[in-house]
Amino acid sequence: MLEFSHKPVMLEECMEGLALKDGGIYFDGTVGGGNHSYEILRRSGPNGRLIATDLDDEAIEAATKKLSPFAGRFTIYKSNYKDFERLFDEAGFDKIDGALLDFGISSHQIDDEDRGFSYKIASAPLDMRMDTTAPLTAEIVLNTYSEAELARILKEYGEETFARQIARNIVKYRETQPIKTSGQFSEIIRGSIPAKFRYGAPCERKSYQAIRIEVNKELDGLYDLVVGLTRRLKKGGRIVILTFQSLEDRIVKEAFRYMQTPCTCPPSFPVCICGKKAEVKTVNRKPITASEEELCDNSRSKCAKLRIAEKL
């Protein structure tokens, strides 16, 4: 087992975005190795409190150890961040001062060849689960889903141009042998994409992203999560969200847009009858991206976008 390690993306930007204060109550939706959580607790001390969640047992173990200097000020739940309502109620918190959602997968998960997240490790089993106790794996998806289901997933979640060809070849391949390793899946992908399109970014990336999203149901309920969590902020509280692919960023953008829009009545109405009021203001009009220095130091920050909203 690899030692859990993860370099946080845009750490300073996230902390500044949260506008941390002593005694604040904060939520970290993906504790990972505990790097963001550590800074939240350090900068909100000595009375700040933290609720954190993760689905990865190794991440929880590593974070618990890292955060041990702040014992008594944090609670980590093995849970999906989408269950925040139940967790807040359990912890006895009605409103919080800030929330951080990091939708990326950790360096540790990518580098661990037993997890199957990376197309660079040909011998890796096709797992891709954030929660290693969950029943659905990438191997099950690739070997049991219909051609139509696979094509839809690859198109919707991976925005893959050659989704139909890849899905067709997955089904054809598994007729003779099960698809069990990353090497087999990558071979199918490369064989499905015309040579002239196999340049620039690795051609496997979109398909791996799509299958991972399906395995972990990453986009399910994401819009409701952003809206619901933002509504649990105190006045002036901040929600900070890191996304790493366009589908997630689009959902966050739309949720923020809805919450900062006041009246939604048609322009022809003489007076407002909907009663809707703006609930947030966006702190950054455009998403924040990693600095040149960070891009050189951490290549995984290249796709990251940071959006921040403040509760009115």
Per-residue pLDDT tens digits for 73-128:
999 999 999 999 999 999 999 999 999 999 987 766 777 777 888 888 888 999 99
Which CATH number applies to 109-216: 1.20.200.10, 3.90.320.10, 1.10.150.170, 2.60.40.420? Answer: 1.10.150.170
The mean pLDDT value for 27-56 works out to 95
Mean pLDDT of the chain: 92
Q: Cα(213)–Cα(114) distance, rounded to whole angstroms? A: 18
Instruction: Give the model confidence (pLDDT) of 37-50 as tens digits.
Output: 999 999 998 999 99
Q: Where are the domains of the chain?
A: 11-103+219-311, 109-216
Enumerate residues 6+ apart whose C-beta is below 8 A from 36.
8, 11, 14, 15, 28, 100, 102
Q: Cα(35)–Cα(58) distance, rounded to whole angstroms? A: 14
Q: How far is CA 22 from CA 17, 85, 185, in A?
A: 15, 24, 49
The mean pLDDT value for 257-266 works out to 90
Q: Cα(28)–Cα(302) distance, rounded to whole angstroms? A: 22
Higher pLDDT, 96 or 265: 96
| Pair of tokens at residue 238 | 């901040």
Place of tokens 């340049």: 199
Query: Which pLDDT score is estimated for 1?
Result: 47
Residue 222 β-bridge partners? none
Q: Cα(51)–Cα(28) distance, rounded to whole angstroms? A: 6
| pTM higher than the cut 0.85 | yes
Q: How far is CA 141 from CA 85, 226, 296, in A?
A: 30, 28, 36
Range of lowest pLDDT (48-62, 95-109, 252-266, 275-289): 95-109
Query: Which pLDDT score is estimated for 6?
Result: 61
Which CATH number applies to 11-103+219-311: 3.20.20.70, 3.90.550.10, 3.40.50.300, 3.40.50.150? Answer: 3.40.50.150
